[in-house]
Chains A and B, each alone.
Chain A
Amino acid sequence: MIVQSILHVIVLVLIVIGGALAVWFKDLISSVLALASASLLVALEFYMLQAPDVAIAEAGIGAALTTAIYVIAVRRTRRKEEE
């Protein structure tokens, strides 16, 4: 039980770090990938909370499809954020 609690804390801290990196990066492709990894970690957290149904939906929609749409949008506009 204590191992599970430590794992939960690690995953939640990593989610916050991923979200903060998505805001902090100036390169927008890196920002999108940080957001995708945060989304994938959210899916892992759903799985650890015994909701595999939600985890599959989150991994499919959040980590794959929004990343694809963001990458298409970034490739057609500017890659760097303006200062």
Chain B
Amino acid sequence: MNSGMSLIVRTVTRLVYGLALVFGFYVIMHGHLTPGGGFQGGAVVASAFALLLVAFGAAGIKGRLNHHLLQTLEEIGALAFLALGFVGIGTAFFYNLLANSGSLFGGPVPLGPNAGVFNAGGTLPLMNWAVGLKVMTGIAAIVIAMLIGARKEETE
């Protein structure tokens, strides 16, 4: 009872977990081209984490997902977003310095309707990654805190 659910839930979790992770990272990576972005993709990845935590319990993932590590990563995400906002402070806050610069994510975008250029958008894809990191680790930390608090109450 203290860790994990039935065999059916665990087997389905093993099948679905990887797919949910891949789809979440796809939504984050294509955030500047397709619907979704950092928050939505981070929520999908965090739902994969939550599925793992509910199916196997806090004891099943012991040592692999650390609460303090997740909090540190969340703060790194928030600080990376702010730092990317301050990159273009010479012109304005959140000025898109990398767009059309020819470097990372600075490719030229053709005029008119097109399917979308992946290597474009300037700082927006990097901001999507920062927000995605913050959201996925933050929600995973919430679920882990919920599990650990419930276990402590049970043992007392």
Contacts and interface: CB of A to CB of B under 8 A. Distances in A.
A65 B40 contact: no
Contact of B150 (A52, A59, A72): A72
Given A72-B54, A76-B153, A60 B146 contact: no
A60 B46 CA distance: 8
B27 A56 contact: yes
Interface residues of A, number: 16
Contacts of B147: 72
Interface string B16-60: 000000000001000000011101100110110011011000000
Nearest to B34: A52
A47 to B, nearest CB: 10
B63 to A, nearest CB: 20
A68 B54 contact: yes
Nearest to B53: A68
Interface in A58-83: 59-61, 64-65, 68-69, 71-73, 75-76
B150 A73 contact: yes
B30 to A, nearest CB: 12
B153 A64 contact: no
Interface of B: 27, 35-37, 39-40, 43-44, 46-47, 50-51, 53-54, 139, 142-143, 146-147, 150, 153-154
Interface of A: 52-53, 56-57, 59-61, 64-65, 68-69, 71-73, 75-76
